[in-house]
Amino acid sequence: MRKDLFDLTGKVCLVTGGSRGLGYEMVKGFASYGADVVITSRKAEACEGVAEEVRAMGRRALPVGCHVGHWGEIDALVEAAYREFGRVDVLVNNAGMSPLAPSSVDTSEDLFDKVVAVNYKGPFRLTALIGSRMAEGNGGSIINISSSGAFKPQPRFIPYAGAKAALNAMTMGFALEFGPKVRVNAIAAGAFLTDVSKAWTQESREKRDTAIGHPAQPHEIVTSALYLASDASSFTTGAILRVDGGVI
């Protein structure tokens, strides 16, 4: 495959949850294809560590501490990105949380609100702020990291599945609102061996009831993200791309 197919030279990418897991892999992937990167997560020091890696690759990087579940912090994040780079060409709403509840009746209001805030409210606000600027400017690409759980919800993570289903609906709505200059798509991720997987059983880390039969390594998200971020997907918007190993 030609490297220039995914060329991001001169582009600015903002990745939430960019200090670890899938976000970290996407940050490195974007930088390797020429992009400068805004890296944000709740821990500013972790973002700075990733930023140093990006700078060592010859690209510019801006680390910003931000809790995407907090509306006011999102406004500050956007202002910091535009102050540093003048624009954002690619936004990846990757930050999320997927705690398991003991039962639905024992799910607290606080837990429910946190899950919805991080997985849906934050991406909505960030997409509204950056997507509107993209539409007024030279356009761009927005990628929402959803989940296969939105299609196959299970009792112990109904709020999470519901928030990701809302993220899917938001993807299609914003594609219409900000098109044709802004493309908005989602990746419905399956089981990946990120930090979260450390809490899984050994069997769950090795086997899955999917067509491929096992979880993915974190780097396996990158080519899908590069496709949606770059001009390679110029006629793709409002789509939900399943990267789940073939969930049955």
Catalytic residue status for 164: yes
Catalytic residue status for 148: no
- Please identify which of the residues 19, 141, 146, 148 carries the catalytic annotation: 146
Catalytic residue status for 98: no
Determine the Cα–Cα distance for residues 117 and 139; give it in Å rounded to an integer: 27
- Please identify which of the residues 24, 120, 160, 227 carries the catalytic annotation: 160
- Nearest in space to 163 (alpha carbons), one of 209, 99, 210: 99
- Nearest in space to 148 (alpha carbons), one of 101, 112, 98: 98
- Nearest in space to 15 (alpha carbons), one of 102, 144, 103, 112: 144
Q: Helices 122-136 and 71-85 meet at what angle, rounded to 10?
A: 30
- Please identify which of the residues 11, 28, 121, 164 carries the catalytic annotation: 164
88: Cβ contacts below 8 Å, ≥ 6 apart: 12, 13, 14, 38, 78, 81, 82, 130, 133, 134, 140
Which amino acids are annotated catalytic? 146, 160, 164
